[in-house]
Copies of this chain bind each other. A is one copy, B any other.
Amino acid sequence: MIGRVNHIAIAVPDLEAAARRYREMLGASVSGVQELPEHGVRVVFVETGNTKVELLEPLGDASPIAAFLERNPDGGMHHICYEVADVSAAVRRLIEGGARVLGDGEPKIGAHGLPVVFLHPKDFDGTLIELEEVKPEFGPA
Q: Which residues of A contact B (CB under 8 A)?
A: 1-5, 8, 10-13, 18, 21, 24-28, 48-51, 53, 55, 72, 74-77, 80, 82, 93-94, 97-99, 121-127, 129
Contacts and interface: CB of A to CB of B under 8 A. Distances in A.
> How many identical chains are in the complex?
2
A10 B82 contact: no
A4 B49 contact: yes
A107 to B, nearest CB: 16
A4 B28 CA distance: 10
A125 B10 contact: yes
Contacts of A126: 72, 74-77
A9 to B, nearest CB: 10
A45 to B, nearest CB: 13
A24 B74 CA distance: 35
B125 A48 contact: no
